[in-house]
Chain A
Amino acid sequence: MNRVGNVMWWRMAWRNLWRNRRRTLLTASALSFGFVASVVMIAFMDGMMEELISNGTRVVTGQVQIHAPDYRPERNIHDTMGGREGVDVGALVAAVEGQAGVAGAAPRLYGGGLVSSGDETVGAVLMGMVASREEAVSRFGHAMVAGRMPGPGEIVVGDAMAETVAVDVGDEVVLVAPAADGSIGNDLFTVSGIFHVGVGGFDDSYALLDMGSLHELMAMSAGRIHEVAVSVERIRDADAVAARVAEAVEEISPGLLTESWSVLQPQLHYVTSMARAMNGIVALMIFGMAIFGVANTMLLATFERRREFAVARALGTSGGAVGRIVVYEGLLLGLVSLGAGGLVAGPILVYLHGNPIDLSSFVGTYSFVGSAVRPLLTVAFSWQGPLASAVALVGTGVVSALIPAWRAVRVPPADSLAAR
């Protein structure tokens, strides 16, 4: 068919669509509703997953981490970056923070030790850090329920640990930890603060110390660190940021390993991947159901127009062109529905983004795959959800038109003209 003819088929399809305005509006409304439902549902799911990832990564891990290649998973205290020589921590952190998408970077040193007070002793993960840098990476600084972040000679513990060893801000604790030189380091630290992040595994076992203090306790030089934790501006960009950071780090200290949260927290990654797959399945179900309804309506409309198809065939229109008119109608119906659905879905998403639905009356905060989940239904903006829903919607219109188009192609001209 020539281009002019094609324009005519589009024109006929558009006008046919509006011949029965009420029926078209009802069908388009159903499709639009499906689109809105799909977009909002995916946005809710994305919101939940972002919350899950955010909470799971912002407590301590960050979205990207840099380690010595052998550090994980054993986390041996000797596997510091740059080996025994260490690295230029300042230069490394500056290089990381210079990358696009990086919100902050925090160097860390880890050790294992015992925290004792009076008769009580508890095992702890000792985390040496720079308090000012943790502000942008971890949640400890924002989760202080008493006191403040530690300075030299000070320690901050989780509220569960504080309860176990029965200490409060201002009390002293004894810290015993194996040092890098094979000795056992021990010293007295003053509790400067108590945190509560709400996730099991941190509140009862993490103890925060000033980086210099932990270096001293573990008999390590200042350039030795185990980790640089990095926070990113947008979690969904973590993999891309990790790639950029890896390149930058390679120039400063070759051989280090840079990984994003999806590698560092495989369980969390698995859950979020499953949720995304579920999004697809639910969208498929919504539009799958719509296909049958729309196809039924279009089939009815096609049947009513058998005589017109027969006339077009009698005048020399090919079967393909007749079928194309019906498919174009389905496509245009999808696009009209998409426009209407977009006009409705947009404001709903904007509203819900600013006004998350509070479910605290029904459910409290809970911990899931190492992440604290607040009882808030919030939406996340992404182009993938609306795009996938839009493609599904327009695809629904087209697929729904296929059987009616096939029927239109097979209209026998003589019988239809005689209304047999």
Chain B
Amino acid sequence: MPEYAVRTEDLWKIYPQEPHPVEAVRGVGLDVHAGEFVAMAGPSGSGKTTVLNLLGGLTRPTRGKVWIRDSELSGLPDKELAAVRLAHIGFVFQSYNLLPVLTALENAEFTLLLQGVPARERRERVRRLFREIGLEGLEDRKPPKLSGGQQQRVAVARAVLGNPALVLADEPTANLDSTTAEALLDVMEQLNREKGTTFVFSTHDPRVMERAGRLIRLVDGRIEGTSSGAGW
């Protein structure tokens, strides 16, 4: 039986708006195996970000269930949801969302710190990864002193350093130029291949779709189709 990184069953998210509620996600069923490199594509408003938020336990489904490994999220209280996110999920956001008062190193080690990893080990792991993804020497810079690509790589480092079962990346290349985007994708692909980290992207970017192992097309909150990507 394959190990799932994340699984959903008849997932719905309805926003109660007047005069008509908005059905952002409509009955999404999704299985992502550990080690997959999956992209979700679709037009704006198709529900990609909402699905990612549901997968990550950042918002609660109106109906349906989400499992991260063996934990079913929909019934968990906030505190336990936070614990599941800390242990199993990494996030990469479109606009980087680094904490501006922390240095690159402190941002990257944030989840390790929450996990209670000792300082020496934290620093060692961050520095090693920074070397691998080309951030060496930038450890003490705060986000405003980093380029967009550097910030996004710090965000990726933050997302993967805690060894999560799943990294959810919401349009991670949207704000990057093509060279930087390619470099970032190289980094994530490398992490996927070498460390087995599972990635689920939402994206408009053809470069991401090309590299994805599986491509899921969302339209109006529904999965319209799934195909094997052109990726490795």
CA distance A139 to B135 in the complex (A): 81
User: DSSP majority for the B interface?
Assistant: helix
**B162 nearest CB neighbor, chain A only:** A316
Which of the candidate stretches B27-35, B78-86, B192-200 sits at the interface with the other chain?
B78-86
User: DSSP majority for the A interface?
Assistant: helix
- B71-103 interface with A by 8 A CB criterion: 78-79, 82-83, 85-87, 89, 91, 93, 97, 99-102
Given A312-B99, A319-B78: A5 and B116 interface contact (C-beta under 8 Å)? yes
> Cβ of B87 and Cβ of A307 under 8 Å apart?
no
> Cβ of B101 and Cβ of A19 under 8 Å apart?
yes
> Cβ of B49 and Cβ of A316 under 8 Å apart?
no
Given A308-B99, A418-B49: A315 and B111 interface contact (C-beta under 8 Å)? yes
Which residues of A are found within 8 Å of B119, using beta-carbon distances?
4
- Is B190 an interface residue, CB under 8 A from the partner? no
- Is B180 an interface residue, CB under 8 A from the partner? no
**Scoring A residues 1 to 36 as 1 if CB is less than 8 Å from chain B, else 0, what string do you get?**
010110010001001100100000000000000000
- B20-79 interface with A by 8 A CB criterion: 49-50, 53, 56, 58-59, 78-79
- Is A178 an interface residue, CB under 8 A from the partner? no
> Cβ of A417 and Cβ of B82 under 8 Å apart?
no
**B119 nearest CB neighbor, chain A only:** A4
CA distance A284 to B112 in the complex (A): 44
CA distance A386 to B174 in the complex (A): 56
Given A412-B59, A414-B53, A417-B58: A316 and B100 interface contact (C-beta under 8 Å)? no
- Is B230 an interface residue, CB under 8 A from the partner? no
Which residues of A are found within 8 Å of B158, using beta-carbon distances?
315
Given A19-B101, A317-B82, A414-B59: A311 and B113 interface contact (C-beta under 8 Å)? no
Shortest CB-to-CB span from B92 to chain A, Å, is 11
Which residues of A are found within 8 Å of B79, using beta-carbon distances?
318-319
Shortest CB-to-CB span from A194 to chain B, Å, is 76
- Is B146 an interface residue, CB under 8 A from the partner? no
Which residues of A are found within 8 Å of B53, using beta-carbon distances?
413-414, 417
Given A15-B101, A16-B101, A313-B82: A413 and B58 interface contact (C-beta under 8 Å)? yes
> Cβ of B116 and Cβ of A319 under 8 Å apart?
no
> Cβ of A316 and Cβ of B85 under 8 Å apart?
yes
Given A12-B101, A19-B100: A4 and B116 interface contact (C-beta under 8 Å)? yes
Shortest CB-to-CB span from A50 to chain B, Å, is 48
Which residues of A are found within 8 Å of B78, using beta-carbon distances?
319
**B56 nearest CB neighbor, chain A only:** A314
> Cβ of A5 and Cβ of B113 under 8 Å apart?
yes
**A318 nearest CB neighbor, chain B only:** B82
CA distance A5 to B93 in the complex (A): 23
Given A19-B100, A19-B101: A315 and B91 interface contact (C-beta under 8 Å)? yes
> Cβ of A307 and Cβ of B83 under 8 Å apart?
no
CA distance A128 to B102 in the complex (A): 79
**B168 nearest CB neighbor, chain A only:** A314
Shortest CB-to-CB span from B101 to chain A, Å, is 4
Which of A15, A308, A316 has the most chain B CB atoms closer than 10 A to its own CB?
A316
Which residues of B are found within 8 Å of A317, using beta-carbon distances?
82, 86, 114
**Scoring A residues 313 to 331 as 1 if CB is less than 8 Å from chain B, else 0, what string do you get?**
1111111000000000000
B residues within 8 Å of A by Cβ?
A: 49-50, 53, 56, 58-59, 78-79, 82-83, 85-87, 89, 91, 93, 97, 99-102, 106, 110-111, 113-114, 116, 118-119, 158
Known: A19-B101, A316-B83, A317-B86. 13 other contacts (CB 8 A): A5-B114, A12-B102, A307-B97, A311-B93, A311-B97, A313-B58, A314-B58, A314-B85, A315-B86, A315-B114, A315-B158, A319-B82, A414-B59
A residues within 8 Å of B by Cβ?
A: 2, 4-5, 8, 12, 15-16, 19, 307-308, 311-319, 412-415, 417-418
